[in-house]
């Protein structure tokens, strides 16, 4: 199978490394950062760049960039995606992404399903990506009434091969409601905590609890 990965940061980079480490699939990747592309090729995480021609040959396309960028990338490249292909976005929010991409996929004839790998680290970027990030993790998918069961079976086999322990199915709305509580609230709280003036006085007063509370504040503070 030929797999295209858009975005080679922590999530996309780990997906690329996991696929190459655990399967025989061919991986084409693209990233705006030229150094990331060089590193990905040198370490064998990708077989080459995801060009327009290679995109049209991909059986599976994984979009691992920010939500607004993911929607824009799909909009610009939908005509190059084969009708036989499956596209899965790996964004951390689902409702707005699924609502935007679903009609694009329907108009161009390729299959689409929203996804969210439940794994991560406190640091982002390709250099933080690992080939075991997804081992034992859950992969959330948001099928709808148009989703073919054969598509789900194909994705299940693929994600289990990559290292995931199993699939969790959800609606985009339920996903966002639960993730807001289990993930995004933790990031907001951690970021606010480290910005407190009291946090600057921690030297000599902090230990494990402080480290646990502040760990995720390092991850992509811009978003």
**Domains of the chain, each with CATH number or no CATH:** 2-171 (3.40.50.720), 175-218 (no CATH)
- Identify the helix (H) or strand (E) that includes residue 174: helix 172-179
**66 φ/ψ sector (left φ>0, alpha ψ -120 to 50, else beta):** beta
Q: What is the pLDDT of residue 154?
A: 95
User: What does the pLDDT look like over 6-21, one tens digit per residue?
Assistant: 999 999 999 999 999 9
70-88: average pLDDT = 98
pTM assigned to the model: 0.87
First vs last Cα of the chain: how many Å apart? 33
User: What does the pLDDT look like over 133-159, one tens digit per residue?
Assistant: 999 999 999 998 888 889 999 999 999
- From residue 136, alpha-carbon distances to 117, 119, 132, 159 in Å are 11, 9, 9, 11
Residues 88, 60: contact at Cβ < 8 Å?
yes
Q: What is the pLDDT of residue 102?
A: 97
């Amino acid at each position: 199978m030929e797999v295209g990965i858009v975005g080679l940061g922590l999530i996309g980079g780990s997906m690329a490394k996991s696929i190459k480490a655990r399967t025989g699939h061919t991986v084409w990747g693209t990233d705006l950062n030229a150094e990331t592309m060089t590193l990905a090729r040198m370490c064998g995480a990708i077989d080459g760049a995801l060009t327009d021609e290679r995109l049209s040959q991909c059986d599976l396309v994984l979009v691992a960039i920010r939500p607004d960028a993911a929607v824009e990338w799909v909009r610009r490249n939908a005509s190059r995606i084969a009708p036989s292909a499956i596209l899965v976005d790996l964004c951390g929010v689902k409702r707005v992404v699924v609502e935007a991409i679903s009609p694009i996929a329907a108009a161009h004839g390729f299959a689409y399903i929203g996804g969210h790998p439940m794994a991560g680290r406190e640091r982002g970027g390709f250099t933080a990506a690992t080939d075991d990030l997804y081992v034992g993790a859950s992969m959330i998918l948001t099928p709808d009434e148009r989703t073919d069961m054969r598509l789900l079976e194909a994705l299940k086999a693929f994600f289990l091969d990559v290292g995931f322990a199993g699939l969790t199915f959800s609606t985009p709305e339920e996903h966002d409601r639960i993730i807001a509580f289990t993930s995004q609230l933790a990031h907001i709280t951690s970021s606010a905590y480290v910005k407190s003036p009291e946090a600057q006085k921690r030297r000599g007063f902090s230990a494990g609890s402080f480290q646990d509370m502040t760990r995720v504040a390092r991850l992509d503070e811009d978003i």
